[in-house]
Amino acid sequence: MRAIRTERTQFDRPDGRGRRRSLPALARPAPRPPPPAAADQAAPATPTLDQIFAYQRDAWERSILFWDVLRQRANNMLEHERLGLPPLLKFKYETLLDARTFDEPANYAVLRITEIDDAVADACGDPDKPPIIVVDPRAGQGPGIGGFKRDSEVGMALKEGHPVYFVIFFPEPCEGQTLADVLHALRRFTEAVAARHPGKPPVLYGNCQGGWAVTLLSADCEGIVGPAVLNGSPLSYWAGESGINPMRLAGGLEGGAWLAEFTGDLGNGSFDGAWLAQNFENLNPGNALWDKYANLFSNIDTEPDRFLDFERWWSGFYSFSREEITAVVENLFIGDQIEQGVFRICDGCVADLKKIRNPLVIFASYGDNITPPHQALGWIPAVYADTEALKAAGQRIVYLINPHVGHLGIFVSANVARLEHRAILESLTEIEALPFGLYEMRIDNPTGDPDCHRPVFNVRFEPREVGDLHFAKTPTAFEQVRQLSERNLGLYRTFLGPWIRASANPWSAAMLKWLHPMRTSRYLFSEHFAPWMRVIAAMAPVIANDRRPAPADNPLLAAEQRLIGEVSDGFKIFRERRDAAEEKTFAALYGSQ
């Protein structure tokens, strides 16, 4: 990106490995800063007897409250399961269409948001603004990430006066459900919303997996939709950087798509979304196993509500059909077919991104190791040879890059919702009026306050060249992965698959579901499974009513934080070495990636 190359300091970010990287050429790390001299390090203070006793009481109280929060998380998970895993939306809604009733059913529905806190949406909306359709990701957890908080994508759209519709999905897929069934259902949802708002094509808001679904929908719904906002959405699956984005190597290291189909067969035709959530946690085991719990323990007086709100969503796992997950892994993550223009939606219908005419707004982050900008933007130069080809296609593409927020932060961060998502919504009219071409959206926010409106912040659209978005690729290795995947999947379907499907049954599938470590690590802390947690439940409110935290200047608190940091650093070193080993293994098997 021409401007990026001349202004790299704007995008520098820590990469989590003690290095800093620049955009878009991310290969050259800056040298590590030298360790501080011993003389510069203040000697830790020796605690007094009173400070020792104060810390011991504080640590004991925090321990009881910590285990009680894990007990509450377990009970929340079990209660959510008993209720049928309903969507965790902060807002009241009504069901507009349920795709389970369609001739070709899918486990999807579209909701109309009807109430904002105590205000009715119809009374607060602006009739001149287009409707927003938020499509949440179906990637292991249930729907709600775009709207389970007041300051969210749904909340910002409502604040700006847009009618808001929310696409949800149900815990279990319909029998034999395919990706084509899902996409056909989304098209019907879009047509129904467009019919309710004549002359105002709906704006499609897609998160992660919902983003590539929205992209395919845009190609299939030419003329009936407005701008599409793609948040952390992968479309160029082979793209990424060695040492930074290890997930793209998983298909090759696991031997291809056969493992997804095998897992779906073990589930009696249903693929448990807990496996996808576990893959996500495996990317950063330090956060999954240590950091988030250490943060909860250290901030037990202020953190529980936020922790429980997020974990209520994160611990609700939804399933895919065997056919869906195999198609996603085989054709998208391993085959990279969307970018190449060969993804077949159904007979006679192949996804062609050149058919998209509605403006695209792409929001990505260099702190996102699930969908880095390489995967969010790398498809553009693959589809359009140059900027003139993009203009000749009658297309406007606007991209916005956050330098540090993580994958989930793109959807759930209140600060991101109050600034970036608000700025996008406030700029939709300007985006649709831009001349054809490629633009970078820049937000100037001199106050640093994310909860602000124009003119406190200013939005600029700077022209860019398609050639500047080139990310280095070596597709030969990934093409070998695709070929290996096809061979292994064929062998599995011929020899092993029939035996697995013949032996799987609802009982065995349910047993595997409830023994999954993503579930056992949570529900086993409930007093229903661990009776001794009733003691914790009884002690916690007594301690909370007479809480005596240690003073902030207690030296043992500083020692505790040093220990927490050392353990966290150990996990980072483990992750670095594991990722480096995977890179070397992949290179040995398939060549340079």
**pLDDT per residue over 497-508, tens digit each?**
999 999 999 999
Model confidence at 2: pLDDT above 80: no
The answer, yes or no, to whether residue 452 has pLDDT greater than 80, is no
First-residue to last-residue Cα distance in the chain: 22
Q: Given this model, what pLDDT does residue 456 score?
A: 81
Q: How confident is the model at residue 12 (pLDDT cuts 50, 70, 90)?
A: very low
- Check residue 152 and report its DSSP letter: S
Q: Which residue ranges form the domains of the chain, and what is each CATH number?
A: 92-238+337-471 (3.40.50.1820)
Task: Check whether 184 has a pLDDT greater than 60.
Answer: yes
Q: For residue 35, is pLDDT > 60?
A: no
Quick one: average pLDDT of 203-214? 89
pLDDT at 440: 95
Helix, strand, or coil (residue 576): helix
Using DSSP's 3-state secondary structure scheme, residue 483 falls into helix
Q: Is the pLDDT of residue 391 over 80?
A: yes
Q: Which of 81-85, 311-315, 344-348 has the lowest mean pLDDT?
A: 344-348
* pLDDT for 121: 65
Residue 450, judged by CB atoms within 10 A of its CB (0-12, 13-18, 19+), counts as middle
Instruction: State mean pLDDT over 559-574.
Output: 97
Kindly indicate the confidence band of residue 592, based on its pLDDT and cuts at 50, 70 and 90. low
**Banded pLDDT at 354 (limits 50, 70, 90):** confident
Greater confidence (408 vs 36) lies with: 408
pLDDT digits (tens, 9 = 90+) for 78-92: 999 999 999 888 888
Lowest mean pLDDT among 3-17, 94-108, 316-330, 345-359: 3-17
6, pLDDT greater than 50: no
**Is residue 567 over pLDDT 50?**
yes
Q: Which residue has the tokens 């729907």?
A: 143
Give CA–CA dist 404/226, Å, rounded: 29
pLDDT at 107: 95
pLDDT of residue 119: 57
User: How large is the average pLDDT for residues 264-270?
Assistant: 96
Q: Assess whether pLDDT exceeds 50 at residue 333.
A: yes
At 369 the pLDDT is 82
Higher pLDDT, 415 or 10: 415
Q: DSSP character for 209?
A: H
Give the percent of the chain with pLDDT over 70: 90
What pLDDT is recorded for position 5? Answer: 35
Average pLDDT over all residues of the chain:
87
Q: Which long-range contacts (CB under 8 A, 24 or more apart) does 307-313 make?
A: 307/69, 307/73, 308/69, 308/72, 308/73, 308/76, 309/148, 309/149, 310/412, 311/73, 311/76, 311/77, 311/522, 312/73, 312/76, 312/77, 312/80, 312/88, 313/88, 313/141, 313/142, 313/144, 313/145, 313/148
For the cut 80, the answer to whether the pLDDT of residue 244 exceeds it is no
pLDDT at 16 over 50: no
What confidence score (pLDDT) does residue 69 get?
A: 98
Q: pLDDT at residue 312 above 90? A: yes
Kindly state the tokens that stand for 158: 């409502």
The predicted-structure confidence for 158-168, as pLDDT tens digits, reads as follows 888 899 999 99
Query: Is the predicted pLDDT of residue 118 greater than 70, yes or no?
Result: no
pLDDT of residue 574 exceeding 90, the answer is yes
**How much is the pLDDT for 297?**
97
pLDDT of the residue at 561:
96
Q: Give me the torsion for CA of 198, 437, 407, 132, rounded to 10°.
A: -10
* Residue 39: predicted pLDDT: 42
pLDDT at 474 over 80: no
pLDDT of 90: 83
CA 184 centroid distance within chain: 24
Spell out the alpha helix ranges (H) of 135-240: 153-159, 179-196, 209-220
Q: What is the mean pLDDT of residues 33-48?
A: 60
Q: Is the pLDDT of residue 415 over 80?
A: yes
pLDDT tens, 479-526?
999 999 999 999 999 999 999 999 999 999 999 999 999 999 999 999
